[in-house]
Amino acid sequence: MAVNLFTLHSDVTQSAFRRESLIAGKLCSDYEFTGAKTVKILSPVTVPMNAYKRTGTNRYGSPTEMQDIVQELTLTQDRSFALTIDKGNDADQGYAKNAGKMLMLQIAERAVPEFDKYVFDKLAHQAGFIIGNATAMSKSNICDRISEAGAMLDDMEVPAYDRMLFVSTQGYKMLKHSDEFMAVQELGKEALAKGIVGSYDNMQVIKVPVTRWPANVNFMIIHKNAATAPVKLSETKLHKDPPGISGHLLEGREYYDCFVFGPRAWGVYAEIDTGDGNATQCAMPAIASTGALTCDTTGVEIWYTTDGSDPRYSTSALRGSHAGNIPGNTVKAYAKKEGMFNSAVNTVVLG
């Protein structure tokens, strides 16, 4: 007989995910699924201010219908596990392997680290700011670089509250020995479990083990409402004495993914190490007055939009080497290539 542990242990499972993960629960949860694996995010686009006219019609300016930037987000990570608890082995070990304990162990040791690694990697590669730096990070420059990142977020009017600073264990070693770092004296067990190790520039500092940290990333600043990492634990089942097994069969399956919201992408900042032998970033594509798109990095895909939306996140983005030649069109383009970080976005208004 199958016992649905998702019903029996759903709250415990979600709690374990949040407790063990360094990123789950820290990002935006303001979304609704339109299907089992798909969610749409609508972000209204505001209009420029006008000079009020005291005579004539349309004194407030010509009315413009408010548009939306639409992101259709589909979960791609469909992961599962299956393990058995032999009745004889369980008896020999004093019946220590009950289903609930094994479920929590599987989540803590396998599901959560894999989830975190995937989410941090997606955040780094989808960040609004991907800034390469060939100078090695050290305790003497790490705070200046974090402060420069904060200033760039300030200039894009990303709210100062709800920003989080994520660093690798090596980055934290440099940060905690810098003069500017303000250590938190009393963290408490809950904070320690979530990886919070202090604060800097009004941001929580969260230390991430190298096994969960993306390669060649120095640090990341993430605003809570700039990204989401939805998790759907589809099913967790315990089968008692299934055919061919004397004991229990524990199976689990989960959907998850990570998405950066296009209109809020500037709230995700990743500094990458572009020194010798480290990360490489695609060159920003050039946009000719004719609409031709070229890039100095070979083998890239160039994606572009002509409606003013960011091609990295827009459903209207097109892939190609020519955006057309319509005067007045705003062309935005970026380059991407497997194994490399995305380029910055180039913007040109065609003449």
What are the tokens at 145? 């670089």
What is the reported pLDDT for 49? 92
Pairing of strands 301-305, 217-223: unpaired
Q: How far apart are CA 334 and CA 326, in angstroms?
A: 19
CATH-assigned architecture of domain 128-224+261-273: 2-Layer Sandwich (3.30)
Mean pLDDT in the chain?
A: 84
Q: Is the pLDDT of residue 44 over 90?
A: no
Q: Is the pLDDT of residue 145 over 90?
A: yes
Cα R_g (the chain), whole angstroms:
24
Q: Is the pLDDT of residue 70 over 90?
A: no
Q: What is the mean pLDDT of residues 296-321?
A: 93
What is the reported pLDDT for 190? 42
Q: What is the mean pLDDT of residues 41-62?
A: 87
> Cα 341 from chain centroid?
14
In this predicted structure, which of 143-157, 159-173, 226-240 has the lowest mean pLDDT?
226-240
Q: What is the pLDDT of residues 243-254, one digit of tens each?
A: 988 888 888 888
What are the tokens at 283? 């060159």
Q: What is the pLDDT of residues 165-218, one digit of tens each?
A: 999 999 998 988 887 765 443 433 444 445 677 788 889 899 999 999 999 999
Contact present, 266 and 129 (Cβ < 8 Å):
yes
Q: Which residue shows structure tokens 């820290």?
A: 26
Higher pLDDT, 19 or 156: 156
Q: What is the pLDDT of residues 121-136, one digit of tens each?
A: 999 999 999 999 999 9
Q: Per-residue confidence at 90, pLDDT binned at 50, 70, 90?
A: low
Q: Is the pLDDT of residue 92 over 70?
A: no
Q: How far apart are CA 4 and CA 235, in angstroms?
A: 8
What is the reported pLDDT for 180? 74
Q: Is the pLDDT of residue 345 over 50?
A: yes
Higher pLDDT, 91 or 259: 259
Pairing of strands 203-208, 196-200: antiparallel
Contact present, 341 and 215 (Cβ < 8 Å):
no
- CB-neighbour burial class of residue 59 (10 A; exposed 0-12, middle 13-18, buried 19+): exposed
- Where in the chain are the domains? 2-46+65-118+229-260, 128-224+261-273, 282-351
